Amino acid sequence: MVLTLDVHYKDDASAKSVGILFNWNDVQPKEILIEYVRETDEYIPGEFYRRELPCLLKIIEKVNINDLEAIVIDGYVYIDNDKRFGLGGHLWQALNKQIPIIGVAKSFYYGNTETVKQIYRGKSKKSLYISSIGLELDIASHFIIHMPGEFRIPDLLKQLDTITKEK
């Protein structure tokens, strides 16, 4: 089983965390998990993980992590070529390095070319940037490339984004 996670922040400093459980070839989620967080930390440039990580962990608490093959996040595992951790790396540490983390980012992060793989899905001319820890980057990229959906963003990741932003 795979868990993909995302968070949407409200104007009042609250957040909605969503997780979708699925298998790599699934078209529909096995389960959708939602958690509301009343107060989140303030955003600090360069330390986004401090705000997002507690929200992600609220969803992870609802699953048996021993049943997970990987966790997919919206973002980066590393933020630069020196392998400084982004959100994915900090999540991996918070989970005691037990579960591989795959980062799927939609935009290029300057100075991060050696720790990511640029992939194209479907007929899109816009790429995704894949990073991973606990799993070889080529394998992680293969999984994301072959997820169901004919567009740039795999269908279940798009569904996650939509659910996260719903009221």
Q: Would you state the pLDDT for residue 69? A: 98
Q: Can you tell me the distance from the alpha carbon of 112 to that of 81, in angstroms, rounded to the nearest whole number?
A: 5
Q: For position 40, what pLDDT does the model report? A: 75
Domain CATH for 128: 3.30.2170.10
Q: Which two tokens stand for residue 118?
A: 């640029």
User: What are the phi and psi torsion angles at 100 (to 5°)?
Assistant: -60, 140
Question: Tokens 């609802």 belong to which residue?
Answer: 62
In tens digits, the chain (167 residues) has pLDDT values of 999 999 998 877 889 999 999 999 999 999 999 999 887 777 666 667 777 899 999 999 999 999 999 999 999 999 999 999 999 999 999 999 999 999 999 998 878 899 999 999 988 999 999 999 999 999 999 999 999 999 999 999 999 999 999 97
Whether the CB-CB separation of 154 and 146 falls below 8 Å is answered with no
The dihedral built from the CA positions of residue 106, 61, 46 and 42, taken in this order, carries a sign that is positive
CB count within 10 Å of CB 124 equals 13
- For the chain, give the DSSP string: -EEEEEEEE-TTS-EEEEEEEE-TT-SS-SEEEEEEES--PPP-TT-HHHHHHHHHHHHHTTS-GGG-SEEEEES-SBSSTT--B-HHHHHHHHTTT-S-EEEEESS--TT--SS-EEE--TT-SS-EEEEEESS-HHHHHHHHHTSS-SSSS-HHHHHHHHHHH--
Return the residue matching tokens 């989970």: 95
Range of the domain at 51: 2-165
Count how many domains the chain has.
1
pLDDT value, residue 49: 74
Res 128: pLDDT = 97
Return all residues near 70 (Cβ < 8 A) that are at least 6 apart. 2, 3, 99, 100, 101, 102, 134, 135, 140, 143
Full-model pTM: 0.94
Confidence at residue 44, expressed as pLDDT on a 0 to 100 scale: 64
